Amino acid sequence: MKICILTQKLGDNYGGILQAFALQFHLKQEGHTVETVQHCGNQKINLRRILSIIKQAVRKYLLRQKVDYVVPDWMYKKQQHSIYQHLHNFITYNIVQTPYIKNFKKLNRQNYEAFIVGSDQVWRPQYNKYQLDEMFLSFVKGDTARRIAYAASFGISNMEFSEQQIKRISNLLQKFDAISVREESGIDLCRNYFYVEAHHVLDPTMLLSVSDYLALISQEERRREKGERRKGELFVYVLDKMPEISQLIQQIADEFQYQPYHFLPTLDKTTVMPSVVTWLKGFSEVQFVITDSFHGTVLSILLINRF
């Protein structure tokens, strides 16, 4: 079967990249031909977006207000490529993608037999401001291709959709052949707001075995000139850095006399983010992991101290 996968834009999120790799890997193992959509993500540029950027810049730099100032990728593309070069290389070598897509309707011309949307918070409105309907496969024409949601995630347990969005999305979900969600709370959201039944399934990263991940690490290390080794016995993969978490890290390090390895560096113009393989090895070679990440927790369960 020829399958098209739609997930969040791949690029700078380790968990997002790994779940996309895992789902494609699993489907290929089952004998399918698979491609993942390469798209612009939440960075669509239009007049409204440009005005929003200007407004945020004025508030931050002139009014000195604290704002969540988000600059679109295209404004610092070269810098982004340098920072995330190892992640982009992993995607190039390990994930088959479509040509860059702006108009999702063009995917109907590729004779896909199934479209799969998932996982990684694909159904969270704030992460899909400009393509929310597409994440519910609104662009798929006719009934020749199956519509499937695998481990789709709303990201949180409460409803963030407007009444208008709920009505529109409900109609789209009625056309799905199968719906599954990553969290149990997603079952209730689907039933109570969209009037469809969903099943609770594993995240794609848990469809792979430990040996699959160890083989990936070995394969990638052979491709690279020199493998990157761990720098401590306490692996720290924390996305939301807070004082209480820093205190906990130091407390555990002192208690067990572990050397902490903080995986995520502070971003600046000279930063080069570690590779996906270095990330995986971080979980597989240490004695203790501290993480606030969903995929970090999954990999801790699967890989800790496997070497």
Tens digits of residue pLDDT in 102-133? 999 999 999 999 999 999 899 999 888 889 99
pLDDT tens digits, 217-272 = 888 776 654 545 555 689 999 998 899 999 999 999 999 999 999 999 887 778 89
- pLDDT of 307 above 70: no
Find the mean pLDDT for residues 137-143: 95
Q: Which residues contact 66 (CB under 8 A, 6 or more apart)?
A: 60
In a 13 Å sphere around the CA of 49, the CA atoms on its Cβ side amount to 12
Q: Considering the chain, what percentage of its residues have pLDDT values greater than 70?
A: 87
pLDDT tens digits, 40-91 = 886 555 555 667 667 777 877 777 776 655 555 555 566 778 889 999 999 9
**2-42+79-205 belongs to which CATH class?**
alpha beta
* CA-wise closest residue to 18 among 80, 91, 117: 91
Residues pairing with 152 in the sheet? 181
Amino acid 225: pLDDT: 45
Tokens representing residue 12 in the block = 């700078």
Residue-range domain boundaries for the chain: 2-42+79-205, 226-303
Q: 279, 263 in Cβ contact below 8 A?
A: yes
DSSP type of residue 230: P
**Mean pLDDT of all residues in the chain?**
89
Q: 98, 35 in Cβ contact below 8 A?
A: yes
- pLDDT of 199 above 50: yes
Q: Which residues contact 158 (CB under 8 A, 6 or more apart)?
A: none
Q: 107, 98 in Cβ contact below 8 A?
A: yes
For the chain, first and last CA: distance in Å? 37
Please tell me the distance from the alpha carbon of residue 126 to that of residue 161, in angstroms, as a whole number: 10
Return the H-helix or E-strand segment holding 186. helix 184-189
Please tell me the distance from the alpha carbon of residue 268 to that of residue 270, in angstroms, as a whole number: 6
Amino acid 68: pLDDT: 55
* CA-wise closest residue to 16 among 127, 140, 143, 112: 127
pTM for this one?
Answer: 0.86
Amino acid 48: pLDDT: 59
**Measured on CA atoms in the order 69, 74, 78, 83, is the torsion positive or negative?**
positive
Burial class (CB in 10 A: 0-12, 13-18, 19+), 48: exposed
Find the mean pLDDT for residues 165-185: 97
